[in-house]
């Protein structure tokens, strides 16, 4: 019985080892892909952060320009009112 069992194990061993090797390759590939995807996501988040900062800066500059223009218009209106009186 032991010799028969040993022969069966020897017959199945290449298939089991091939399956185990394939499993290792699949797991390692999935791990590497996950790491690459995580790195890409981090890069996108960094780019989004930079774009947000750039947008905030643009809005701040726009607010400053609008405030200056409003003050200039207010000054013109005051001069016009004083010259009209």
Is the predicted pLDDT of residue 9 greater than 90, yes or no? no
Mean pLDDT of 11-33: 95
Is the predicted pLDDT of residue 1 greater than 60, yes or no? no
pTM (two decimals) = 0.58
pLDDT value at residue 85: 67
Is the predicted pLDDT of residue 40 greater than 80, yes or no? yes
- Structure letter (DSSP) for residue 59: H
CA dihedral 37, 38, 39, 41 (to 10 degrees): 90
pLDDT value at residue 32: 98
Q: What is the average pLDDT score of the chain?
A: 92
Q: Which sequence spans correspond to the domains of the chain?
A: 29-85
Task: Tabulate helix, strand, coil % of the chain (nearest 5).
Answer: 100, 0, 0
């Amino acid at each position: 019985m032991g010799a028969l069992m040993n022969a069966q194990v020897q017959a199945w061993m290449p298939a089991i080892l091939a399956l185990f090797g394939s499993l290792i390759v699949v797991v390692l590939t999935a791990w590497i892909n996950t790491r690459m995807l995580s790195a890409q996501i981090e890069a996108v988040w960094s780019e989004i952060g930079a774009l947000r900062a750039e947008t905030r800066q643009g809005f701040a500059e726009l607010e400053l320009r609008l405030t200056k223009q409003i003050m200039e218009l207010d000054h013109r209106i005051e001069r016009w009112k004083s010259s009209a009186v």
